[in-house]
Protein backbone atom coordinates (compact mmCIF):
# COMPACT_ATOMS: atom_id res chain seq x y z
CA UNK A 1 0.00 0.00 0.00
CA UNK A 2 1.37 3.37 -1.01
CA UNK A 3 2.15 5.87 1.72
CA UNK A 4 0.14 9.05 2.13
CA UNK A 5 1.92 12.17 0.75
CA UNK A 6 1.32 15.62 2.22
CA UNK A 7 1.22 17.77 -0.90
CA UNK A 8 0.91 20.99 1.08
CA UNK A 9 4.13 20.17 2.92
CA UNK A 10 5.83 19.38 -0.38
CA UNK A 11 5.22 22.96 -1.51
CA UNK A 12 5.89 24.49 1.91
CA UNK A 13 2.27 25.66 2.27
CA UNK A 14 -0.60 25.41 4.71
CA UNK A 15 -3.96 23.86 3.86
CA UNK A 16 -5.49 27.35 3.62
CA UNK A 17 -3.15 28.37 0.76
CA UNK A 18 -4.79 30.20 -2.13
CA UNK A 19 -4.38 29.20 -5.76
CA UNK A 20 -2.03 32.16 -6.17
CA UNK A 21 0.06 30.93 -3.23
CA UNK A 22 0.24 27.48 -4.80
CA UNK A 23 1.25 28.85 -8.18
CA UNK A 24 4.01 31.06 -6.72
CA UNK A 25 5.40 28.31 -4.48
CA UNK A 26 5.42 25.82 -7.33
CA UNK A 27 7.18 28.14 -9.79
CA UNK A 28 9.83 29.07 -7.21
CA UNK A 29 10.57 25.46 -6.30
CA UNK A 30 10.41 24.23 -9.89
CA UNK A 31 13.13 26.66 -10.92
CA UNK A 32 15.26 25.52 -7.99
CA UNK A 33 14.93 21.76 -8.58
CA UNK A 34 14.49 21.59 -12.36
CA UNK A 35 16.72 18.91 -13.98
CA UNK A 36 18.05 21.48 -16.47
CA UNK A 37 19.47 23.43 -13.52
CA UNK A 38 20.65 20.30 -11.68
CA UNK A 39 21.80 17.82 -14.31
CA UNK A 40 22.63 14.27 -13.16
CA UNK A 41 21.35 14.94 -9.65
CA UNK A 42 18.94 12.17 -8.68
CA UNK A 43 17.86 13.81 -5.42
CA UNK A 44 16.95 17.05 -7.19
CA UNK A 45 15.12 15.08 -9.87
CA UNK A 46 13.12 13.23 -7.20
CA UNK A 47 12.26 16.52 -5.50
CA UNK A 48 11.22 18.01 -8.83
CA UNK A 49 8.83 15.13 -9.46
CA UNK A 50 7.43 15.54 -5.95
CA UNK A 51 6.60 19.23 -6.33
CA UNK A 52 5.15 18.65 -9.80
CA UNK A 53 2.87 15.99 -8.39
CA UNK A 54 1.83 18.27 -5.54
CA UNK A 55 1.08 21.06 -8.01
CA UNK A 56 -0.83 18.68 -10.28
CA UNK A 57 -3.24 17.95 -7.42
CA UNK A 58 -3.47 21.26 -5.56
CA UNK A 59 -3.76 23.48 -8.63
CA UNK A 60 -6.74 21.47 -9.91
CA UNK A 61 -9.98 22.39 -8.12
CA UNK A 62 -11.55 18.93 -8.37
CA UNK A 63 -8.42 17.02 -7.44
CA UNK A 64 -7.70 19.31 -4.52
CA UNK A 65 -11.26 18.92 -3.26
CA UNK A 66 -11.00 15.15 -3.36
CA UNK A 67 -7.57 15.21 -1.71
CA UNK A 68 -8.76 17.58 1.04
CA UNK A 69 -11.99 15.66 1.53
CA UNK A 70 -10.47 12.27 2.22
CA UNK A 71 -7.02 13.15 3.52
CA UNK A 72 -5.39 10.09 5.06
CA UNK A 73 -8.52 8.04 4.27
CA UNK A 74 -7.69 8.34 0.57
CA UNK A 75 -7.40 4.54 0.31
CA UNK A 76 -11.16 4.33 0.75
CA UNK A 77 -12.08 7.27 -1.47
CA UNK A 78 -13.72 5.20 -4.19
CA UNK A 79 -15.75 3.18 -1.70
CA UNK A 80 -16.84 6.32 0.11
CA UNK A 81 -17.83 7.96 -3.16
CA UNK A 82 -19.86 4.90 -4.09
CA UNK A 83 -21.62 4.87 -0.71
CA UNK A 84 -22.46 8.56 -1.02
CA UNK A 85 -23.90 8.09 -4.51
CA UNK A 86 -25.99 5.13 -3.35
CA UNK A 87 -27.20 7.19 -0.43
CA UNK A 88 -28.24 10.05 -2.69
CA UNK A 89 -25.30 12.19 -1.62
CA UNK A 90 -24.79 13.43 -5.15
CA UNK A 91 -21.07 12.67 -5.08
CA UNK A 92 -19.06 13.58 -8.15
CA UNK A 93 -17.34 10.86 -10.17
CA UNK A 94 -13.76 11.63 -11.15
CA UNK A 95 -12.24 10.38 -14.38
CA UNK A 96 -8.90 11.34 -15.85
CA UNK A 97 -7.54 10.84 -19.35
CA UNK A 98 -4.36 8.79 -19.54
CA UNK A 99 -3.65 8.75 -23.27
CA UNK A 100 0.03 9.43 -23.95
CA UNK A 101 0.83 9.80 -20.24
CA UNK A 102 3.96 8.25 -18.79
CA UNK A 103 2.76 6.66 -15.58
CA UNK A 104 6.19 6.60 -13.94
CA UNK A 105 6.04 10.41 -13.61
CA UNK A 106 3.73 10.15 -10.55
CA UNK A 107 3.91 8.27 -7.26
CA UNK A 108 1.92 5.16 -6.36
CA UNK A 109 -0.08 7.34 -4.01
CA UNK A 110 -1.13 9.62 -6.89
CA UNK A 111 -2.00 6.69 -9.13
CA UNK A 112 -4.07 5.10 -6.37
CA UNK A 113 -6.17 8.14 -5.52
CA UNK A 114 -6.48 9.71 -8.99
CA UNK A 115 -5.77 6.85 -11.37
CA UNK A 116 -3.14 8.81 -13.34
CA UNK A 117 -3.58 12.06 -15.18
CA UNK A 118 -2.59 15.34 -16.62
CA UNK A 119 0.21 17.69 -17.00
CA UNK A 120 2.85 17.08 -14.36
CA UNK A 121 6.39 15.88 -14.78
CA UNK A 122 6.64 13.34 -17.59
CA UNK A 123 3.10 14.12 -18.74
CA UNK A 124 1.86 15.34 -22.07
CA UNK A 125 1.28 18.87 -20.76
CA UNK A 126 4.60 19.77 -19.19
CA UNK A 127 4.65 23.28 -17.80
CA UNK A 128 7.01 25.83 -19.28
CA UNK A 129 8.96 28.27 -17.15
CA UNK A 130 10.17 31.77 -17.83
CA UNK A 131 13.93 32.05 -17.37
CA UNK A 132 15.37 33.83 -14.37
CA UNK A 133 15.86 37.58 -14.52
CA UNK A 134 19.44 38.83 -14.48
CA UNK A 135 20.98 41.98 -13.02
CA UNK A 136 24.08 43.78 -14.25
CA UNK A 137 25.84 47.14 -13.84
CA UNK A 138 27.17 49.40 -16.57
CA UNK A 139 29.72 52.06 -15.63
CA UNK A 140 29.50 55.33 -17.56
CA UNK A 141 31.20 58.70 -17.55
CA UNK A 142 28.99 61.77 -17.35
CA UNK A 143 29.95 62.63 -20.92
CA UNK A 144 28.99 59.14 -22.16
CA UNK A 145 25.62 59.34 -20.43
CA UNK A 146 24.88 62.73 -21.97
CA UNK A 147 24.55 61.29 -25.47
CA UNK A 148 22.34 58.53 -26.87
CA UNK A 149 24.69 55.80 -28.05
CA UNK A 150 25.06 52.06 -28.59
CA UNK A 151 26.80 49.77 -26.11
CA UNK A 152 27.65 46.08 -26.07
CA UNK A 153 28.02 44.17 -22.81
CA UNK A 154 28.67 40.54 -21.97
CA UNK A 155 26.26 38.89 -19.54
CA UNK A 156 26.30 35.15 -18.81
CA UNK A 157 28.56 34.61 -21.81
CA UNK A 158 26.12 36.37 -24.15
CA UNK A 159 26.94 39.57 -26.07
CA UNK A 160 24.07 42.05 -25.77
CA UNK A 161 23.92 45.22 -27.85
CA UNK A 162 21.52 47.95 -26.77
CA UNK A 163 20.96 51.71 -26.79
CA UNK A 164 21.84 53.94 -23.84
CA UNK A 165 19.36 56.87 -23.90
CA UNK A 166 20.79 60.32 -23.23
CA UNK A 167 20.06 61.63 -19.75
CA UNK A 168 20.12 58.39 -17.75
CA UNK A 169 21.02 58.93 -14.11
CA UNK A 170 23.36 57.31 -11.63
CA UNK A 171 21.62 54.29 -10.07
CA UNK A 172 18.84 54.22 -12.68
CA UNK A 173 17.82 50.79 -14.02
CA UNK A 174 16.32 49.86 -17.36
CA UNK A 175 14.80 46.53 -18.43
CA UNK A 176 16.04 44.70 -21.50
CA UNK A 177 13.22 42.25 -22.16
CA UNK A 178 14.20 38.68 -23.00
CA UNK A 179 17.91 39.21 -22.32
CA UNK A 180 18.02 37.24 -19.06
CA UNK A 181 18.53 33.51 -18.63
CA UNK A 182 16.87 31.15 -21.08
CA UNK A 183 13.45 29.68 -20.37
CA UNK A 184 12.83 26.03 -19.58
CA UNK A 185 10.63 23.61 -21.51
CA UNK A 186 9.84 26.18 -24.17
CA UNK A 187 9.25 29.05 -21.75
CA UNK A 188 10.34 32.62 -22.58
CA UNK A 189 13.71 33.99 -21.53
CA UNK A 190 13.93 36.18 -18.43
CA UNK A 191 14.73 39.88 -18.49
CA UNK A 192 17.95 41.77 -17.88
CA UNK A 193 17.81 44.67 -15.42
CA UNK A 194 20.71 46.99 -16.17
CA UNK A 195 21.77 49.60 -13.59
CA UNK A 196 23.89 52.60 -14.59
CA UNK A 197 26.81 53.53 -12.35
CA UNK A 198 28.51 56.87 -12.89
CA UNK A 199 32.20 57.51 -12.51
CA UNK A 200 33.31 60.65 -10.65
CA UNK A 201 33.73 63.51 -13.10
CA UNK A 202 36.75 65.80 -12.66
CA UNK A 203 35.06 68.85 -14.20
CA UNK A 204 31.36 68.77 -13.42
CA UNK A 205 29.10 68.33 -10.44
CA UNK A 206 25.59 67.27 -11.36
CA UNK A 207 22.50 68.34 -9.42
CA UNK A 208 19.38 67.16 -11.16
CA UNK A 209 19.57 68.37 -14.75
CA UNK A 210 21.94 71.24 -13.90
CA UNK A 211 25.71 71.08 -14.00
CA UNK A 212 28.23 73.10 -11.98
CA UNK A 213 31.84 73.78 -12.87
CA UNK A 214 34.65 76.17 -11.95
CA UNK A 215 36.76 78.32 -14.24
CA UNK A 216 39.84 80.36 -13.38
CA UNK A 217 40.61 83.79 -14.83
CA UNK A 218 43.62 86.01 -14.26
CA UNK A 219 43.46 89.28 -12.40
CA UNK A 220 43.61 91.36 -15.57
CA UNK A 221 40.56 89.64 -17.10
CA UNK A 222 38.73 90.07 -13.81
CA UNK A 223 39.58 93.80 -13.72
CA UNK A 224 39.25 94.71 -17.37
CA UNK A 225 36.90 92.04 -18.72
CA UNK A 226 37.51 89.65 -21.60
CA UNK A 227 36.81 86.17 -22.87
CA UNK A 228 37.46 82.84 -21.16
CA UNK A 229 37.08 79.25 -22.37
CA UNK A 230 34.82 77.10 -20.20
CA UNK A 231 34.10 73.35 -20.53
CA UNK A 232 30.68 71.92 -21.41
CA UNK A 233 29.62 68.33 -22.06
CA UNK A 234 29.73 69.10 -25.78
CA UNK A 235 33.17 70.75 -25.69
CA UNK A 236 34.64 74.15 -24.79
CA UNK A 237 32.81 77.44 -25.41
CA UNK A 238 33.94 81.04 -25.03
CA UNK A 239 32.31 83.03 -22.25
CA UNK A 240 32.45 86.84 -22.02
CA UNK A 241 33.53 88.10 -18.59
CA UNK A 242 32.53 91.59 -17.53
CA UNK A 243 35.05 94.04 -16.13
CA UNK A 244 35.19 93.95 -12.35
CA UNK A 245 34.03 90.32 -12.07
CA UNK A 246 34.46 89.11 -8.49
CA UNK A 247 35.95 85.77 -7.52
CA UNK A 248 33.15 83.38 -6.56
CA UNK A 249 30.57 84.97 -8.84
CA UNK A 250 28.48 82.58 -10.96
CA UNK A 251 27.44 82.75 -14.58
CA UNK A 252 24.66 80.67 -16.14
CA UNK A 253 24.79 79.07 -19.58
CA UNK A 254 21.19 78.17 -20.38
CA UNK A 255 20.62 74.75 -21.92
CA UNK A 256 24.26 73.69 -21.55
CA UNK A 257 23.63 71.39 -18.60
CA UNK A 258 22.69 67.71 -18.42
CA UNK A 259 20.21 66.31 -20.99
CA UNK A 260 16.67 65.75 -19.72
CA UNK A 261 15.84 62.04 -19.92
CA UNK A 262 13.64 61.16 -22.91
CA UNK A 263 13.10 64.82 -23.82
CA UNK A 264 15.09 65.14 -27.02
CA UNK A 265 16.97 68.41 -27.39
CA UNK A 266 16.24 69.62 -23.85
CA UNK A 267 18.82 70.07 -21.12
CA UNK A 268 19.36 71.80 -17.81
CA UNK A 269 21.70 74.76 -17.31
CA UNK A 270 25.42 75.00 -16.70
CA UNK A 271 26.59 77.23 -13.84
CA UNK A 272 30.16 78.46 -14.01
CA UNK A 273 31.80 79.72 -10.82
CA UNK A 274 34.55 82.25 -11.52
CA UNK A 275 37.79 81.97 -9.55
CA UNK A 276 40.24 84.88 -9.88
CA UNK A 277 43.81 83.65 -9.98
CA UNK A 278 46.27 86.06 -8.31
CA UNK A 279 49.97 86.13 -9.22
CA UNK A 280 52.04 84.12 -6.78
CA UNK A 281 55.00 86.52 -6.86
CA UNK A 282 55.63 90.08 -8.06
CA UNK A 283 58.73 91.70 -9.35
CA UNK A 284 59.93 94.92 -7.75
CA UNK A 285 58.55 96.88 -10.67
CA UNK A 286 55.19 95.18 -10.34
CA UNK A 287 55.13 95.81 -6.61
CA UNK A 288 55.84 99.50 -7.29
CA UNK A 289 52.98 99.68 -9.75
CA UNK A 290 50.60 98.06 -7.26
CA UNK A 291 51.65 100.54 -4.56
CA UNK A 292 51.07 103.45 -6.93
CA UNK A 293 47.69 102.03 -7.80
CA UNK A 294 46.86 101.65 -4.12
CA UNK A 295 47.76 105.27 -3.49
CA UNK A 296 45.58 106.38 -6.38
CA UNK A 297 42.63 104.33 -5.09
CA UNK A 298 43.05 105.67 -1.56
CA UNK A 299 43.35 109.20 -2.83
CA UNK A 300 40.10 108.84 -4.75
CA UNK A 301 38.30 107.49 -1.73
What confidence tier does 118 reach under pLDDT thresholds 50, 70, 90? very low
Answer whether residue 95 shows pLDDT above 50.
Answer: no
Closest-CA residue to 117 (of 48, 76, 45, 56): 56
What is the C-alpha separation between 246 and 243, in angstroms, rounded? Answer: 9
Do residues 187 and 126 touch, judged by C-beta distance below 8 A? Answer: no
Identify which of 107, 176, 90, 104 has the alpha carbon closest to the alpha carbon of residue 135. 176
User: pLDDT averaged over the chain?
Assistant: 82
Confidence tier at 92 by pLDDT (50, 70, 90): very low
pLDDT band of residue 144 (cuts 50, 70, 90) is very high
Distance of CA 240 to the CA centre of its chain: 45
51 close to 26: Cβ distance less than 8 angstroms: yes
- Residue 161 is predicted with a pLDDT of 95
pLDDT at 87 over 90: no
pLDDT tens profile 65-85:
888 876 655 555 555 565 555
Q: Is 163 helix (H, G, I), strand (E, B) or coil?
A: strand
Residue 6 pLDDT > 70: yes
Segment 267-271 shows an average pLDDT of 97
Q: What is the mean pLDDT of residues 16-42?
A: 87
Burial class (CB within 10 angstroms; exposed 0-12, middle 13-18, buried 19+) of 78: middle
Q: What is the pLDDT of residue 100?
A: 30
103 φ, ψ (degrees, to nearest 5): -60, -30
- Residue 81 has a pLDDT of 60
Q: Which residue has the higher pLDDT, 175 or 187?
A: 175
Q: pLDDT at position 219, please?
A: 93
> Which pLDDT band holds residue 94 (cuts at 50, 70, 90)?
very low
Task: Give yes or no for residue 239 having a pLDDT over 70.
Answer: yes
pTM: 0.56
Name the more confident of 142 and 98.
142
**pLDDT at residue 204 tops 60:** yes
Whether pLDDT at 258 is above 70? yes
Mean pLDDT of 18-39: 87
Task: Kindly state the average pLDDT of the residues 154-171.
Answer: 92
Q: What is the pLDDT of residues 32-68, one digit of tens each?
A: 888 777 778 888 888 888 898 889 889 888 888 888 8
Confidence category of residue 220, pLDDT binned at 50, 70, 90: very high
Work out the pLDDT band at 264, boundaries 50, 70, 90.
Answer: confident
Amino acid sequence: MADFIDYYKSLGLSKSASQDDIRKAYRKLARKYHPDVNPDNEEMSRKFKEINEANEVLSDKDKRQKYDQYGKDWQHADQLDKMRRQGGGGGQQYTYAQEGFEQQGFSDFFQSIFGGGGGGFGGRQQRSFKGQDTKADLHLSLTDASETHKRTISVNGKQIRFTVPAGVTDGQSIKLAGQGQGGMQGGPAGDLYLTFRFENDPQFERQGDNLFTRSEIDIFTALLGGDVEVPTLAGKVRLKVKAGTQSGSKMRLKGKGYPIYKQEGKAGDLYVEIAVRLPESLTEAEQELVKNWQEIREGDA
